[in-house]
Amino acid sequence: MTLRLLVAIVLLAQVPAHDLEWVAPPDAAARTNPLATRPETAAGGEKLFRQRCIACHGDDARGTSGGPDLTAEEVQAESDGALFWKIGSGNSRRDMPSFSFLPELQRWQLVLHLRSLKRSNQSRFD
C-alpha cells in the first residue's frame, strides 16, 4: 500500500457521513419534492452535481477527504425536504457551501439525483 493511499484512507475515515448537529427544521424536512413524479428531471440534477459537487463529494458521490459519501445510508435516510434544506443552507462546520443561489427547482433536481444514486448503489449489490 502506498503512503498516498494510506493517507487518503485515514482522511476518509475522519469525514463522518452524517453531521448529527446539522438537522433540518421540521417544516423544512416535511417539504415534498415537486419533481418527485418527474424522474427524468434527475438528469438536470446530475449535470448540476457534476458542475458544483464532485470536487468535494467525488465523481461517484462516495465522498472524498473534503466531503462525505452521499450514497451512505444516513444521508439517503434523510427526507427530500431535509436534503433540499441542507443544499440551500450549507454547513459552515463541514465546509459545505450554501447553494441557495440556485433556483429552487434546480435544488430539487439535485435531490432527485441523490435519490438516483441510492437506486444505482442498491442495484450493484442486489
- How far apart (Å, rounded) are the C-alpha atoms in residues 86 and 103? 14
User: pLDDT digits over 69-100, tens only?
Assistant: 999 999 999 999 999 999 999 999 989 999 99
Give the pTM: 0.80
CATH assignment of 3-125, among 1.10.4190.10, 3.40.50.300, 2.30.30.90, 1.10.760.10: 1.10.760.10
pLDDT of 44 > 70? The answer is yes
Task: List, as one string, the DSSP characters of 10-21.
Answer: HHHHTS-S--TT
Band (118; pLDDT cuts 50, 70, 90): confident
